[in-house]
Structure 1
Amino acid sequence: MIRRYEICDNQWEKIKDHLPSERKPQGGNTPKDHRQMLNAMLWVARTGAPWRDLPETYGSWSTVYSRVRRWQIAGIWDWI
């Protein structure tokens, strides 16, 4: 079941190939998958909540925010 603030499979299929390749783990952390990160970003955008209020199911708010900034610098948001 899709959650209210998450993208559906159809939407994901349209954008997934336009995102940068997944990063390899550095140090001991497992990289977060792009879809999970995008869903977290959408949650913040749609709720208007501060980053620090991001539900733990999406991962660390600071990790998600870092991905937002990297995608912004890379121009990915312009495409989406």
Structure 2
Amino acid sequence: MDAADPPARPAPAPAAGDVLRIAESDYCYGVGPLVLRVTRVGVDLGRYPRLEWLSLRGVELRRDGSAGPERQVLVRASALPGAVA
């Protein structure tokens, strides 16, 4: 990091209750796009702003909107809504 570089701005971390639509290429441990209602976030992005992956736990939502199985996934921080590339 160059001294002239501005400090990294943390991506807004998802919160419990948020619904995320995640492309297959942006998460681990699954096949196909994922819709996840977040129940737990593994780490505070404000404290660790340079993380590339974020551990999320949540409930997978089916196409009809009903609750599916509970999932734990690693999601690219850069794929989160509002993330700064």
* TM-score normalized with structure 1 length: 0.29
Higher helix share: 1
Higher relative contact order (CA 8 A, sep 6+): 2
Greater Rg over alpha carbons, structure? 2
Higher strand share: 2
